[in-house]
Amino acid sequence: MNLIKWVGVVGLACGGLLPGTPARADDISCKMSFQLSGWSVFYKTASGSGTVHCSNGQSLHVKLRAKGGGLTFGKTKITDGVGKFSGVGNVRDVLGHYANAEAHAGAEKSAAAQVLTKGNVSLALSGKGEGWNLGVAFGAFIIE
């Protein structure tokens, strides 16, 4: 038997002895439905609630808070918000403080989308709502 065939046979035989590649912790997907309302006059604040459902069957009811500051004025209400998480291994990974920066403008009915991060976890938010707002704000989006 030549050397290439021998190495191939040994490789196949040993391949069954090595552990398989473990599933990555971020293989589950999680989605959040939420509502949020707030106001801003230089300081921005909002609060709300939601429910996170993950592809592995886990779910969690959460409280939401947004806070920060900047050149911002307005009042908003989001009633049909959706958040999509990535980098999640367990539903509890979604909890915590996410970095937030946004520019916004709207009147009456409006729609918005933004992406937030917390370490390896990312959250893409989108929603439809009502109110009026104008400005640029920096701060935190907190899921408890």
* Full DSSP string of the chain: --HHHHHHHHHHHHHTTSPPPPPPGGGEEEEEEEEEEEEEEEEEEEEEEEEEEETTS-EEEEEEEEEEEEEEEEEEEEEEEEEEEEEESSGGGG-EEEEEEEEEEEEEEEEEEEEEEETTEEEEEEEEEEEEEEEEEEEEEEE-
Q: Residue 42: its pLDDT value, please?
A: 66
pTM greater than 0.85? no
8-33 average pLDDT score: 53
- Domain ranges within the chain, ordered by starting residue: 23-143
For 23-77, the pLDDT digits (tens) are 454 479 999 999 888 877 766 788 999 999 999 999 999 999 888 766 566 777 8
More confident residue, 136 or 120: 120
